[in-house]
């Protein structure tokens, strides 16, 4: 009976609420509202159209907009693209300067890069260490030729909240368009496009227990805001977003937003309480730090840096928790989180970070268990202690072969080895660089008889250090000098991108050879 990991990745996506599934199902089959909402000449089409318009009103109501301000899109990515590319291309003969921030979602950053190629100038604001973009920064960045300011309401990695009301009013005063990416905040924080003076607002369903593949762009009505569409065809959505309207998806979005509006006052304090409970438990562990502003943050997101433990190793040890990390190699991307680095975290600390995000279906018991598990694993990994009991089949991660998982499960690590003349030790690497290894070998009659190691690094480095410590036993000095990392790389199936880290291991072994005790060398 293997249970699935505890799901704490609701900022990536959420499970669809059963009430939403029911509403969507009623739009699919022959008995349901499956028709093309544009087919106005028969009752099937008119009924489907009524469902779509009802959903449009639900979406509008959540952000205090009028229904005709809502354009359905495939999600927040498309809404962001339509807002930025659409507005900038419409005004291509006029002002061409855009203000955004370095910690925006790639859907905004990459759209801005595209606009730079099309001749726009873009200012990328750097938030302070709290992760928040302050209204004063925006005021300073806005120029006479600024067309638009684009900022997220809530950051998807660290959960901090920008003061969109203050920024919106500033933009309106200066005659600049204001676009807000509200993918992480809709239904979690109050949004009022009128009062907050928001001209363009990007929304999505799947971060709020709705289906993936549907979202909306809310567009200011008066004075009319010009947009150039991204795609051309049947002219749906006032010609701004052609394509047959996906009735079931739109109805799912509407239902998800209605439920959120009705349950916000109950859900949000509950989720905030659970997040606080989780943070209190983690804060009690030395070396665990909160990322982002401690107060101005959304209910469901907690991002922490765990000093002294490499992020990928922690993630693997925590295979019974489904969380997201700032670790580079977990996803085999080359870079650690650009958001955490923009806040001034070093690469190493950015890599040792975890995002835990809670949702409507997260329970108190899950949070308690997650906190306890994290506490245990952080202590264990720092001490290099073996784990007791059977290897959990949850560590069944395809990126690591059985030997890596076996060695990580039973890290022999560091233990007592007297600092006697018969002990040769060697170290190499640097935690700041992400890999550090230290060996201590007991030498008797010119051979290695006992070995200890301690390592900071990704799972492959920890496993390779354990492998090297075992392989060294029985070797003499020249045999040890000839040891190379290739065998460990082969047996542990280390990806080529990590070979450089194994060279650190080899350097540590070479340091042992250099420190070979002279006394034993001379004994026969
Ligand atoms: C998830 C997310 C997006 C992308 O939304 P999709 O609907 O998946 O395209 C954009 N911005 C932020 C802040 C997000 O969290």
CA-nearest residue, atom 15 of ligand 1: 156
Judge if the beta carbon of residue 460 lies within 6 A of ligand 1. no
Where is pLDDT greater, at 206 or 329?
206
Judge if the beta carbon of residue 75 lies within 6 A of ligand 1. yes
Distance 13 CA to ligand 1 centre (A): 9
Cβ pair 268, 299 in contact under 8 A: yes
Distance 206 CA to ligand 1 centre (A): 9
Distance 474 CA to ligand 1 centre (A): 56
Alpha-carbon distance of 160 to 339, in angstroms, equals 11
**What number is the average pLDDT over the span 252-278?**
97
Q: What is the CA radius of gyration of the chain?
A: 28
* Confidence at 139, pLDDT banded by 50, 70, 90: very high
Judge if the beta carbon of residue 156 lies within 6 A of ligand 1. yes
Alpha-carbon distance of 188 to 279, in angstroms, equals 19
For residue 122, report the phi and psi dihedrals to the nearest 5 degrees. -125, 130
Judge if the beta carbon of residue 159 lies within 6 A of ligand 1. no
Alpha-carbon distance of 75 to 162, in angstroms, equals 21
What's the mean per-residue pLDDT of the chain? 90
Determine whether 501 is exposed, middle or buried from the number of CB atoms within 10 Å of its CB (0-12, 13-18, 19+).
Answer: buried
Alpha-carbon distance of 483 to 317, in angstroms, equals 29
**Tens digits of residue pLDDT in 389-430:** 555 554 566 778 888 888 877 776 777 776 677 899 999 998
Distance 105 CA to ligand 1 centre (A): 7
Write down the domain spans for the chain: 18-261, 266-383, 405-514
**Tens digits of residue pLDDT in 224-255:** 899 999 999 999 999 999 999 999 999 999 99
Does residue 171 have an active-site annotation? no
Alpha-carbon distance of 230 to 188, in angstroms, equals 29
Measured from the CA of 184, which atom of ligand 1 is nearest? 15
Residue to substitute in 83, 107, 109, 337 for testing ligand 1 pocket (most ligand atoms within 8 angstroms of CB): 107
Residue (of 404, 425, 435, 441) closest to 502 by Cα position? 435
Measured from the CA of 156, which atom of ligand 1 is nearest? 15
Judge if the beta carbon of residue 300 lies within 6 A of ligand 1. no
- The CATH architecture that domain 405-514 belongs to is Alpha-Beta Complex (3.90)
Q: How many C-alpha atoms does 120 have within 13 Å on its Cβ side?
A: 30
Distance 179 CA to ligand 1 centre (A): 14
522 pLDDT higher than 70: no
Query: Do the domains 405-514 and 18-261 match in fold?
Result: no
CA-nearest residue, atom 7 of ligand 1: 75
- The CATH architecture that domain 18-261 belongs to is 3-Layer(aba) Sandwich (3.40)
Fold of 266-383: 3.90.1150
* Confidence at 385, pLDDT banded by 50, 70, 90: low
Per-residue confidence (pLDDT) for residue 33, from 0 to 100: 96
328 pLDDT higher than 50: no
Task: From residue 171, give the alpha-carbon distance in Å to each of 6, 184, 190, 198, 411.
Answer: 42, 22, 20, 9, 56
Alpha-carbon distance of 407 to 471, in angstroms, equals 13
Where is pLDDT greater, at 516 or 519?
516
Alpha-carbon distance of 334 to 187, in angstroms, equals 34
Judge if the beta carbon of residue 504 lies within 6 A of ligand 1. no
Alpha-carbon distance of 424 to 421, in angstroms, equals 8
**What number is the average pLDDT over the span 33-57?**
96
Residue 223, C-beta contacts closer than 8 angstroms, at least 6 positions apart: none
């Amino acid at each position: 009976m293997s249970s699935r990991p505890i799901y704490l990745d609701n900022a990536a996506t959420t499970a669809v609420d059963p009430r939403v599934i029911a509403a969507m199902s009623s739009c699919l089959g022959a008995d349901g509202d499956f028709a093309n909402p544009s087919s106005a000449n028969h009752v099937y089409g008119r009924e489907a159209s009524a469902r779509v318009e009802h959903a449009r009103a639900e979406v509008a109501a959540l952000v205090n907009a009028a229904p005709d301000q809502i354009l359905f899109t495939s999600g927040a990515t498309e809404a962001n693209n339509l807002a930025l590319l659409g507005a900038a291309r419409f005004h291509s003969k006029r002002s061409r300067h855009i203000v955004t921030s370095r910690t925006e979602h790639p859907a905004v950053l990459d759209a801005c890069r595209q606009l730079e190629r099309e001749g726009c100038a873009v200012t990328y604001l750097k938030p302070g260490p709290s992760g928040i973009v302050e209204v004063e920064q925006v005021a300073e960045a806005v120029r006479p030729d600024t067309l638009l300011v684009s900022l997220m309401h809530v950051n998807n990695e660290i959960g901090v909240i920008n003061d969109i009301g203050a920024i919106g009013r500033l933009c309106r005063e200066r005659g600049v368009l204001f676009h807000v990416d509200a993918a992480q905040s809709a239904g979690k924080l109050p949004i009022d496009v009128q009062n907050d003076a928001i001209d363009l607002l990007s929304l999505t369903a799947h971060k709020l227990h709705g289906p993936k593949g549907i979202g909306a762009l809310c567009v200011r009505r008066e004075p009319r805001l010009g947009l150039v569409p991204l795609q051309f065809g049947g002219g749906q959505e006032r010609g701004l977003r052609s394509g047959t309207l996906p009735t079931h998806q739109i109805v799912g979005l509407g239902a998800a937003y209605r439920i959120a509006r009705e349950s916000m006052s109950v859900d949000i304090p509950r989720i905030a309480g659970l997040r606080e409970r989780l943070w209190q438990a983690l804060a009690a562990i030395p070396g665990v730090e909160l990322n982002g502003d401690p107060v101005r943050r959304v209910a469901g997101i907690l991002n922490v840096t765990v000093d002294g433990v490499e992020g990928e190793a922690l993630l693997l040890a925590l295979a019974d928790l489904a969380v997201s990390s700032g670790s580079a190699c977990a996803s085999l991307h080359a870079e650690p989180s650009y958001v955490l680095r923009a806040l001034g975290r070093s690469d190493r600390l950015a890599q040792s970070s975890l995002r835990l995000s809670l949702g409507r279906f997260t329970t108190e018991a899950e949070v308690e268990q997650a906190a306890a598990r994290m506490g245990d694993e952080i202590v264990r990994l720092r001490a290099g202690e073996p784990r007791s009991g059977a290897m959990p089949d949850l560590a069944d991660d395809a990126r690591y072969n059985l030997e890596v998982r076996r060695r990580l499960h039973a890290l022999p690590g560091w233990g007592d080895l007297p600092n006697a003349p018969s002990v040769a030790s060697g170290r190499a690497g640097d935690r700041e660089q992400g890999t550090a290894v230290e060996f201590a070998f007991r030498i008797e009659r010119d051979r290695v008889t006992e070995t200890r190691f301690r390592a900071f690094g990704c799972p492959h480095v920890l496993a390779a250090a354990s492998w090297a410590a075992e392989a060294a036993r029985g070797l003499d000095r020249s045999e040890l000098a000839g040891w190379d990392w290739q065998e460990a790389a082969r047996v542990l199936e280390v990806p080529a991108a990590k070979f450089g880290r194994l060279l650190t291991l080899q350097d540590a072994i070479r340091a042992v050879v250099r420190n070979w005790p002279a006394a034993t060398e001379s004994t026969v």
